[in-house]
């Protein structure tokens, strides 16, 4: 499912730059996630989820491009390791938190996801060139 995002990311990153590609991917994920509140028809829901996954794939691939280019050689492996560590912590927490929040109501899960995307969008805007 991430393959279209992985194909789009290097093309966009080379033409627009790494930071704008991160902005577009995070803001695109946020916009398509907010549309999930209003999805009633299953076809629209699946198309929207496909877009969310593709925007996520674009951001993931762009981060794999951005980190090695941004850090000096001595810090590059530490930065990549930190990126991997936080992604695994987020995946573990997301699995358990999503299930516990989802038991209350599904919209709380979407709100949590949108909040994380908003923080990531703002943080990506403050990255250095």
Alpha carbon separation from 107 to 8, 52, 67 (Å, rounded): 30, 16, 33
pTM over 0.85? The answer is: no
Where residue 15 falls among pLDDT bands split at 50, 70, 90? very high
The span from the CA of 53 to the CA of 107, in Å, is 18
Alpha carbon separation from 101 to 38, 66, 110 (Å, rounded): 19, 33, 10
Q: Tens digit of pLDDT for each residue in 73-117?
A: 888 888 888 878 888 888 888 778 777 776 777 777 788 888 888
3 state DSSP class of 104:
coil
Q: Tens digit of pLDDT for each residue in 19-50?
A: 888 889 989 988 998 888 788 888 888 898 89
Structure token pair of residue 98: 């999503």
Class of residue 30 by CB neighbours under 10 A (exposed 0-12, middle 13-18, buried 19+): buried
Where residue 2 falls among pLDDT bands split at 50, 70, 90? confident
């Amino acid at each position: 499912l991430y393959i279209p995002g992985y194909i789009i990311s290097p093309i966009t990153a080379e033409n627009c730059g790494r930071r704008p590609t991160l902005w577009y991917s995070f803001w695109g994920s946020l916009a398509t996630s907010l549309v999930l509140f209003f999805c009633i028809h299953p076809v629209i829901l699946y198309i929207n989820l496909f877009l969310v996954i593709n925007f996520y794939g674009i951001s993931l691939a762009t981060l794999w491009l951005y980190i090695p280019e941004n850090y000096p050689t001595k810090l590059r492996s530490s930065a990549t390791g930190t990126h991997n560590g936080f992604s695994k912590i987020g995946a573990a927490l997301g699995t358990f938190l999503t299930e516990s929040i989802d038991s209350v109501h599904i919209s709380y899960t979407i709100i949590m996801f949108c909040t994380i995307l908003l923080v990531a969008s703002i943080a990506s805007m403050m990255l250095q060139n």
